[in-house]
Amino acid sequence: MTLAGQVALVTGGGSGIGAGIAQRLARDGAAVLVADINLAAAEQVAAGIVAAGGQALAQRMDAAEPADAAAAVAAAEARFGRLRIAICNAGITDRVPVLELELAAFEKVVRTNLTGCFVSAQAAGRAMARGPDSGGRIVTVSSVSGQFGGTGRAAYGASKGGIETLTKVLAVELAPLGILVNGVAPGPTQIARTAHGPRQRAAFLDRMAIKRYATPEDIAGAVAFLCGPDAAFLAGHILNVDGGFAAAGVMYDPAEGA
């Protein structure tokens, strides 16, 4: 159990990728504070972890609210001990053409995704930096949508691109304190809020070397690696977990001719 004795906070842990990450970290031995704006969902995930023999606690948290972030960190430390791992995963999606996108909708996505990442990472970093034994791991969750222009992704893409730059700034500032900050950028992932239609699925799969969507477990495995001992010399790295999406250029079967 590579994370035995570690204490972790997972934002947006009540469903989807966040739930998968919380479950994986618990299986690897960490005690997990499952934080989500939907407390009932967080409680369900935490209960499942406990039923499987792990350690978990649920907490309601609006990731972009400093008071909520501080309270989540305090709850994790009061129950389990010193916080050493934080996964800044909370996020929402909005697919609206740019000329139709209302400012309020744009700001909601950016607040949840980018501001929420900053607030959560800051609260966790402050706890990890405390005292002479400072140190820990922070992992952000961005998206390949933050690396490319995609239709309907003005708000989502901007927020995820911002997370990737924020990750690098956090890494540079916090590494001297022993806090290693890295990120994962999922490609298309099969979760409830994905809801891609056949044309959108085809557009993704046509550019992917691995011809399937990711599962939350695929993303969680990469996060667990970044939290573990084998990632001790990584800082400011964005690990694409995207089935080869970002690596692709023109893809076709040469047997079909030019």
Element (H, E) at 101: none
| CA 235 from centroid of its chain's CA atoms | 16
Cα–Cα distance, 190 to 78 (Å, whole number): 35
Measured torsion, CA atoms of residues 40, 16, 118, 58, in degrees rounded to the nearest 10: 30
Candidates 161, 132, 136, 133; CA nearest to 148 is: 161
The type of residue at 27 is: R
Cα 129 to the center of its chain, rounded Å: 21
Distances (CA, A) of 210 to 187, 206, 247, 256: 11, 10, 11, 20
Active-site residue, selected from the candidate residues 156, 204, 213, 245 = 156
Query: Known catalytic residue: 252?
Result: no
Enzyme catalytic residues? 156
